[in-house]
Amino acid sequence: MERAIDVRPFVSADRSAVLNLVPRLTIGVAPWRDHVAVAAAVRGWIDKSTEPNGGGAAFVAVAERGVVGFVSVASIEHFAGERDAYIGELIVDEAFEGRGAGRRLIAAAEQWAREAGYRCITLDTGAANSRAREFYSRLGYCEEDVKLTRILDELPDPGRA
Ligand X SMILES: CC(C)(COP(=O)(O)OP(=O)(O)OC[C@H]1O[C@@H](n2cnc3c(N)ncnc32)[C@H](O)[C@@H]1OP(=O)(O)O)[C@@H](O)C(=O)NCCC(=O)NCCS
Task: Tell me if 23 contacts ligand X by CB under 6 A.
Answer: no
Q: Which of 7, 58, 74, 90 binds ligand X (CB under 6 A)?
A: 90
Q: Does 6 bind ligand X (CB under 6 A)?
A: no
By CB under 6 A, name the one of 15, 17, 23, 27 that touches ligand X: 27
Minimal distance in Å, beta carbon 156 to ligand X?
29
DSSP, residue by residue, the chain = -PPPPEEEE--GGGHHHHHTTGGGGGTT--TTS-HHHHHHHHHHHHHHHTSTT-SSEEEEEEETTEEEEEEEEEEEE-TTS-EEEEEEEEEE-GGGTTSSHHHHHHHHHHHHHHHTT-S-EE----TT-HHHHHHHHHTT-----------TTSPP-TT--
Q: Is 107 a residue that touches ligand X (CB under 6 A)?
A: no
Q: Does 131 bind ligand X (CB under 6 A)?
A: yes
19 binds ligand X (CB under 6 A): no
Choice between 53 and 149, CB closer to ligand X: 149
Cβ closer to ligand X: 34 or 94?
94
Instruction: Name the residues that contact ligand X, by CB under 6 A.
Output: 24-25, 27-28, 90-92, 97-103, 123, 125, 129, 131-132, 134-135, 138
